[in-house]
A and B are shown apart, each in its own frame.
Chain A
């Protein structure tokens, strides 16, 4: 199934590379209901290269989703500059696809109808994309579910459909907000390696938010660690393990292990993770 997801997408325009994303001193603050200023993100400086896979980890509430919505053009930064493909972003980028934490499938549309929603909204040729959608659904293991309604699918199946919806147009920028958070471990592992295969085929830029440190290291070229709110970049870890990475093998690599240690150290320093107490209790004799 792995290479298949990408194979299903129309490849008539031979190779469209990913887009670049540039954040300069990007900050975001909200006004709380009580009228106080609440700083969610503070002076994020980050340049994401075309075709790069960047994973962002950080404690809950540190502004990861906020960061993603800004890159998706759904939320305006309070201060700072945000460029996609070297142009200041003024709204959702036409080449971006978003996968949210919830699947947000429209409950009255069939799975196929949901996958085709972006095509319909952009007024493209539905007939041309129907076969693409069908093929994508087969590749993610949802053959036979195209005409089912979302409530007839499990959570993992629904999230897979949501991913098909986000990639049907081969986005140059794929934005994912904890897309596998609600999945069981096995499905998650499968989706993670499928995502790697997809990305290797498409060459698109991916910004991937997750709580799973191992998932981040496995997938990413670079892992960005955010500090607690207001989120700042606390640590950047480059991962240059050879690709395609295999789930079991990757974990054995010393580099994988080192990245894991560094990131966990970072969390421990911030008091988000507590140092594991490995001392044996004294044995009474």
Chain B
């Protein structure tokens, strides 16, 4: 190798190679994409709220019809204790109904999965139930459960368990038979096959259905409060309605949404905790 070649190579070494440059710019681009993605939802939300604020303020629509977001926010701060107490009630109803939905939904899914007879017996009835508009049941539910926790828990549960049940049955059924055969060849009992193979395999699908169920459970609980209650964010809405207090009404609606998002985030955290060490999805 000639001296000139050596020098050329040394000079080449000093500068970042083409690949290195490409890699760092790729990294930078990816970081930028991540930042954009993180910011997307808040920015869009802020724009929508801004438009709302401007429309409500300058179009001459009365506060009674469409209050400005800033007024709603002020009201939420002023009435914070009231909203919090009632939000706590709604939260308990949602969590209770949702938990029931998951437990009962998975339990029914298991009986359907393990028993062909129960499957043919139960499925049509469950589907028939599912087609009933739940709101149509509300008056009856009050008749049966009175005015306490009962109707809210029941509606919240009833409206959301179907999603969990169907998704769980499908998830259990779609596991390749070979996995069960493998476990059986190692001498596994049916219980072991369930805990070591079927349940972990179905877990992602079950969590997916729980996300749907949670949003439905919120709807169910508030529905229950509309029909019969002395407490809860739905009850606050009813009160606000009868007092022509649209701002409080909006404050309650937003509180419901915040409650829903908060519970959803908790569910996501639980999912992430249970799924550590798995292949990251997407």
Contacts and interface: CB of A to CB of B under 8 A. Distances in A.
Interface stretch (B61-69, B89-97, B100-108, B175-183): B175-183
Contacts, number: 54
B74 to A, nearest CB: 49
Contact of B178 (A92, A104, A121): A104
B278 A122 contact: no
A107 B277 CA distance: 10
> Interface majority SS on B: helix, strand, loop or mixed?
helix
Interface string A247-274: 0000000000000000000000000000
A97 B185 CA distance: 7
B185 A96 contact: yes
Contact of B186 (A69, A102, A108, A122): A122
Q: Which of A69, A97, A106, A151 has the most CB of B within 10 A?
A: A106
B181 A108 contact: no
B197 interface: yes
A118 interface: yes
Contacts of A108: 200-201, 277-279
A102 B181 contact: no
B32 interface: no
Contacts of B179: 104, 106
Given A106-B200, A122-B187, A149-B279, A74 B181 contact: yes
A151 B182 CA distance: 19
A224 B279 CA distance: 42
A239 interface: no
Interface in B144-176: 176
A73 interface: yes
B241 interface: no
Given A117-B186, A118-B186, A110 B181 contact: no
Contacts of A104: 176, 178-179, 182
Interface size class of A (residues with CB under 8 A): 20 to 34
A92 B178 CA distance: 14
B28 interface: no
Contact of A74 (B176, B184, B277, B279): B184
A240 interface: no
B192 interface: yes
B196 interface: yes
B188 interface: yes
Interface string A80-96: 00000000000010101
B194 to A, nearest CB: 12
Contacts of B277: 108, 110, 149
A134 B68 CA distance: 66
A96 B184 CA distance: 11
A279 to B, nearest CB: 46
Contacts of B279: 107-108, 149, 151
A97 B186 CA distance: 7
A74 B185 contact: yes
A220 to B, nearest CB: 22
Nearest to A117: B186
B181 A69 contact: yes
B190 to A, nearest CB: 12
Q: Which of A92, A97, A121, A151 has the most CB of B within 10 A?
A: A121
> Interface majority SS on A: helix, strand, loop or mixed?
loop
A117 B185 CA distance: 11
Contacts of B182: 98, 100, 104
A151 B187 CA distance: 26
B278 A92 contact: no
B178 A102 contact: yes
B184 A92 contact: yes
Contact of B185 (A98, A102, A107): A98
Contacts of B183: 117, 121
Contacts of B200: 106, 108
Contact of B196 (A73, A94, A96, A121): A121
A72 interface: yes
A69 B184 CA distance: 11
Contacts of B196: 106, 117, 120-121
A107 B181 CA distance: 16
Contacts of B176: 102, 104
Interface string B198-224: 001100000000000000000000000
B186 A92 contact: yes
Given A96-B185, A104-B178, A117-B183, 13 more contacts: A69-B181, A72-B185, A74-B184, A92-B187, A98-B182, A104-B176, A104-B179, A104-B182, A106-B200, A106-B201, A108-B279, A121-B187, A122-B187
14 contacts: A72-B185, A73-B185, A74-B181, A74-B184, A100-B181, A104-B182, A106-B201, A108-B201, A108-B278, A108-B279, A117-B186, A121-B196, A149-B278, A149-B279
Interface of A: 69, 72-74, 92, 94, 96-98, 100, 102, 104, 106-108, 110, 117-118, 120-122, 149, 151
Cβ-closest 7 pairs across A and B: A118-B186, A98-B185, A121-B188, A121-B186, A104-B182, A108-B278, A92-B185
